[in-house]
Amino acid sequence: MDQQAQLPDRVDVLVVGGGQAGLGTGYRLREAGVAFVIVDDRARTGDVWRARWRSLVLFTPRRFAALPGLPLPPSTDFYPTREQLADYLERYAAAHALPVVHGTRVTAITREGDDFVAETSRGSVRARAVVIATGPFQYPRVPRVGARLDTSVAQLHSSAYDCPDDLPHGSIAVVGGGNSAAQLAVELADSDPARRVTMVAPQQPWFIPERILGLTVYWPLKLLGILSSPAESRISRYIHSRGDGILGIEAKRAVRAGRVALRTSRVVDARARSLVLADGSTLEVDAVLWCTGFRTHYPFVQVEGALTEHGAPLHEGGVSPVAGLYWIGLPWQRRLDSSILHGIAADSADLLEPLLQHLGRVPATASDTMEP
């Protein structure tokens, strides 16, 4: 079970978020001997994964889904399930005695002199530095056009989806072009042959084979240095411009076999029981599953200069222009793999040096002795 912790009145570093990014950061801070606490609004470590849909499996293999300092156990599936990953995160927190305070929602972070003050559901805490590790997947994005659909059309965002029974039978549109949309379109189609499932992707999906020459695609990417390519590198910019790649060709096969229909156009409007697409066509639906991602929103960060005018984090490689404020777990934060668990190890190590400098520590000894 998790290390039980109390919310202190004052601490050197406050880590907001107890998912993989927050725990990986806690590991680095523990190794460096820094006084810190992790606050998490969930009741139990790993609950952020337990809340995802029932059949969810990671699209990253076990070897690339571990945090620094603890591999996933050999009993874990090659592609870990949501439960396996959730249990792993719980074991990780216990193994490294990470001080996680659960059931604690941060409502405001402000600046007072050289310190930060965090107001939480359990009281306030002062910190010399703050690491925001909540990630970008907190506030579901549902296109406004959904409000124009008839109330008889069932609508659900992927973050609220659990299993096919959540949606009615009939014609279902899965709107989105990423891994979640592909996985759920196939699941819905396979759950009942009478269901008519259409994946509505904004552009032609980019299907990436799971294996190359018998190896998981992640190994060539790692050996060639692509997986850890700097975010500003040419290869990273190219991949970023292609949009989300879909690992595996199961959805591609389902489209070819006619089990899933594919429409490559954006949803721009809705009328009664139909979605209106940018190409001028319409799609009549009984239900819509919105796999449209999440919006950037950090209302609790109330520090001048921390956010853009649109509410996105201002940072360079996770380092805010506000002294003592840091971010981790953001897509393309430093590298191509910053958005998957594999990237947490390197990103957290890189973030430690400027954080220790801010605290007045000498970073070289700590960073040199820790595994990357």
Q: What is the mean pLDDT of each run of 10 residues along the chain (372 residues)?
A: 74 97 98 97 95 90 92 93 96 97 97 96 97 87 94 96 96 95 96 94 83 68 73 74 75 94 96 96 98 91 95 94 96 80 92 95 50 41
CA distance linking residue 218 with residue 60, whole number of Å? 8
Instruction: Let me know: does 264 contact 203? Beta carbons within 8 Å.
Output: yes
Tokens 């999906």 belong to residue: 205
Cβ contacts of residue 71 below 8 Å, gap of 6+? 63
DSSP string, 80-117: -BHHHHHHHHHHHHHHTT--EE-S--EEEEEEETTEEE
DSSP string, 174-208: EE-SSHHHHHHHHHHHHH-TT-EEEEEESS--EEE
CA Rg, the chain, in Å?
A: 22
Reduced to 3 states (helix: H, G, I; strand: E, B; else coil), residue 175 is strand
CA distance linking residue 357 with residue 312, whole number of Å? 25
**pTM attached to this predicted model:** 0.87
Reduced to 3 states (helix: H, G, I; strand: E, B; else coil), residue 223 is helix
CA distance linking residue 99 with residue 35, whole number of Å? 10
Instruction: Let me know: does 12 contact 35? Beta carbons within 8 Å.
Output: yes
- Give the CA distances from residue 199 to residues 59, 144, 205, in Å, rounded to whole numbers and listed in that order: 19, 19, 10
Q: Please tell me the predicted confidence (pLDDT) of residue 215.
A: 66
Taking the alpha carbons at both ends of the chain, their separation in whole angstroms is 26
Amino acid present at 204 = Q
Q: If you count them, how many residues does the chain have?
A: 372
Instruction: Let me know: does 300 contact 185? Beta carbons within 8 Å.
Output: no
Q: Closest by alpha carbon to 315, among 285, 355, 286?
A: 355
CA distance linking residue 293 with residue 368, whole number of Å? 37
Q: Please tell me the predicted confidence (pLDDT) of residue 227.
A: 74
Residue 154 token pair: 């069932």
What phi and psi values does residue 198 have, to the nearest 5 degrees?
-125, 125
